[in-house]
Amino acid sequence: MVVFGNVSAANLPYQNGFLEALSSGGCELMGHSFRVPTFQTLKTRTRRRSAGGPLQVVCVDIPRPELENTVNFLEAASLSASFRSAPRPAKPLKVVIAGAGLAGLSTAKYLADAGHKPLLLEARDVLGGKIAAWKDEDGDWYETGLHIFFGAYPNVQNLFGELGINDRLQWKEHSMIFAMPSKPGEFSRFDFPDVLPAPLNGIWAILRNNEMLTWPEKIKFAIGLLPAMVGGQAYVEAQDGLSVKEWMEKQAIPERVTDEVFIAMSKALNFINPDELSMQCILIALNRFLQEKHGSKMAFLDGNPPERLCMPIVDHIRSLGGEVQLNSRIKKIELNNDGTVKSFLLTNGSTVEGDAYVFAAPVDILKLLLPDPWKEIPYFKKLDKLVGVPVINVHIWFDRKLKNTYDHLLFSRSNLLSVYADMSLTCKEYYDPNRSMLELVFAPAEEWISRTDSDIIDATMKELEKLFPDEISADQSKAKILKYHVVKTPRSVYKTIPNCEPCRPLQRSPIQGFYLAGDYTKQKYLASMEGAVLSGKFCSQSIVQDYELLAASGSRKLSEATVSSSSS
């Protein structure tokens, strides 16, 4: 769960600017509308004083959980190791990859591990795709989304370990914390005891919480979940055709369970409401969270994603002979006479050729650039149903430290907001002992994506007034806004509506030498950071498996080019 999104952008024309915006939050669509004199981000960490000085607030993180002995972690580790132990290729493949989000970075990383030479092309001047971030003139960072790293993300957790950056994850206490709309300013917690194994720790957390669900509701919910527990993965996959709301009604689960828990969960998982979201998505998340002791335990990255996560991957790729280029936007996929890829034509007029090609940009970009001869191929035609969802990420810097918050992710349960966090508490790089910076996911965003930044901030402040009744008022008579940033992504992750699963493509396309990577491609973690990383590993695995075929094709093309040159 990264926090995901839904639906199409409102009345935005297809231009280069729109292409950039589709690539997970283009600069043209980022608001900087409201500016007043701001504070400078603190460059040093405030620590507990030595004897004699004042006591100061500090970030307190939980030790890293023991993840290495879980089946999913070991499976992910084995897949990673297969690239490092693969036979070294006699002639490394040059693999051209479009898109430097997590899927593209993962593909390039594992291809480099296998001894090949990836060339990773990113359209924008920033790494990360859906986890991109930018620094403003005050030195403060603002991000495409509020990103959470779960214990149930085995491939992401392996990636951090392989890069030697496990210490960059700030783990929080094992809890899920929900605002209480009926009691403004109050929260309800699900606390997972460390002494119990899964799924008992999750069951205990649910049974101990009596503020959100009554005992009769808990019992009916548990009975409704029994088929999923007994039927396993086969049952989960079979629920793709039902929305969350439809499934709840079918299982005779009280509507209040959806209102109290699953509206917030649906918006956090895919930025949409339960009447739209496929129940498969919810069941997959519940399965991961309940079957692994630390599955639902959360961590924040200790700083901005491009520098703290993406650059270590880039450094690794380059250390093994790969290349990464920014400001390299694909204009056209050029084809050979036989329908295979000849080259990627860039907007600067240059062409890039390789032995294999990977498209790791969002599915909406792929559909815009899909060559005409491919459009009626069933593999590509099924992509029509996969549509990115709009999402808005809001950052507000206040003139004071807000008290009614936690060093954790919070589920707002508001009509307009999904999840939020006080990043001045949760993230070391953004830490400030004197002022709060709230980062909030505004979702569902379909009706708001074309609205002005000031409209969005006004609506956000009205919601925050309910969450912080003693500290925030919509008219700013209490806490004052120092500045804000609004980041709009018209097409984010694919909208996980019912019957989408059959439309998700495998990473190996029917076009020889052309592959896909992205969280929308076939893998078991759906639209998430974990899904993006795993898709990159599957894509790399397909290319490594196809080495002999791709190498032979490359030799044949070289031979044909030599003959053609001699004839002329």
- How does pLDDT run across 57-102, given as a tens digit for each residue? 445 678 999 999 999 999 999 999 999 999 999 999 999 999 999 9
**pLDDT attached to residue 556:** 63
- Least Cα distance to 181 among 245, 243, 256 occurs for 256
Structure tokens at 567: 């004839």
Q: Whole-prediction pTM value?
A: 0.89
* Distance from the Cα of residue 145 to its chain's centroid: 8
**Which uninterrupted H or E stretch holds 43?**
none
**Is residue 448 scored above 70 in pLDDT?**
yes
Q: Tell me the pLDDT tens digit for each residue of 148-204.
A: 999 999 999 999 999 999 999 999 999 999 999 999 999 999 999 999 999 999 989
**What percent of the chain shows pLDDT beyond 90?**
82
**Is residue 390 scored above 60 in pLDDT?**
yes
The whole-number average pLDDT for the span 200-209 is 92
**pLDDT attached to residue 44:** 31
473: left (phi over 0), alpha (psi -120 to 50) or beta: beta
Confidence of residue 557 (pLDDT cuts 50, 70, 90): low
Q: How many residues does the chain have?
A: 568
For the chain, what is the total number of helices (H) and then of strands (E)? Answer: 18, 21
Confidence of residue 40 (pLDDT cuts 50, 70, 90): very low
SS3 for 298? Answer: strand
Q: Could you write out the three-class secondary structure of 456-477?
A: HHHHHHHHHHHHCCCCCCCCCC
CB 7 within 8 A of CB 497: no
Q: Tell me the pLDDT tens digit for each residue of 219-268.
A: 998 898 888 878 888 899 899 999 999 999 999 999 999 999 999 999 99
For residues 520 and 517, what is the distance between their CA atoms, to the nearest angstrom?
8
Q: At what angle do helices 102-113 and 71-84 cross, to 10 degrees?
A: 60
**pLDDT attached to residue 228:** 83
- Least Cα distance to 185 among 396, 402, 399 occurs for 402
**Given strand 169-171, what is the order of strands in its sheet?**
149-150, 298-301, 169-171
- List the alpha helices (DSSP H) in 321-404: 363-369, 378-381
**pLDDT attached to residue 59:** 55
Q: Rounded to the nearest 5°, which phi and psi values hold at 92?
A: -55, 140
Task: Please name the residues in contact with 27: beta carbons below 8 A apart, sequence gap of 6 or more.
Answer: 20, 124, 134
Cβ count within 10 A of residue 50: 6
For residues 46 and 42, what is the distance between their CA atoms, to the nearest angstrom?
9
DSSP 278: B
- Least Cα distance to 265 among 496, 456, 70, 438 occurs for 496
For residues 241 and 527, what is the distance between their CA atoms, to the nearest angstrom?
17
Q: Could you write out the three-class secondary structure of 405-429?
A: CCCCCEECCCCCEEEEEEHHHHCCC
**pLDDT attached to residue 63:** 94
**pLDDT attached to residue 276:** 96
For residues 411 and 178, what is the distance between their CA atoms, to the nearest angstrom?
5
Confidence of residue 558 (pLDDT cuts 50, 70, 90): low
Confidence of residue 555 (pLDDT cuts 50, 70, 90): low
Q: Tell me the pLDDT tens digit for each residue of 2-39.
A: 333 222 233 233 334 434 444 444 333 333 333 333 33
Confidence of residue 288 (pLDDT cuts 50, 70, 90): confident
Confidence of residue 294 (pLDDT cuts 50, 70, 90): very high
- List the alpha helices (DSSP H) in 182-278: 200-208, 215-238, 244-250, 255-257, 263-270
Cα-Cα end-to-end distance for the chain: 57
Task: Please name the residues in contact with 549: beta carbons below 8 A apart, sequence gap of 6 or more.
Answer: 512
State the Rg of the chain over Cα. Answer: 24
**What percent of the chain shows pLDDT beyond 70?**
87
Q: Tell me the pLDDT tens digit for each residue of 98-140.
A: 999 999 999 999 999 999 999 999 999 999 999 999 999 999 9
**pLDDT attached to residue 230:** 82
- Least Cα distance to 151 among 290, 5, 263, 281 occurs for 290
**Is residue 543 scored above 60 in pLDDT?**
yes
Cβ burial of 551 (10 Å; 0-12, 13-18, 19+) is middle
The whole-number average pLDDT for the span 443-458 is 97
For residues 371 and 177, what is the distance between their CA atoms, to the nearest angstrom?
47
CB 425 within 8 A of CB 431: yes
**pLDDT attached to residue 229:** 78
For residues 1 and 526, what is the distance between their CA atoms, to the nearest angstrom?
9
**Is residue 46 scored above 50 in pLDDT?**
no
**pLDDT attached to residue 27:** 33
- For residue 301, list its beta bridge partners: 169
**Is residue 327 scored above 60 in pLDDT?**
yes
Lowest mean pLDDT among 3-17, 296-310, 337-351: 3-17
- For residue 171, list its beta bridge partners: 62, 299
The whole-number average pLDDT for the span 207-216 is 92
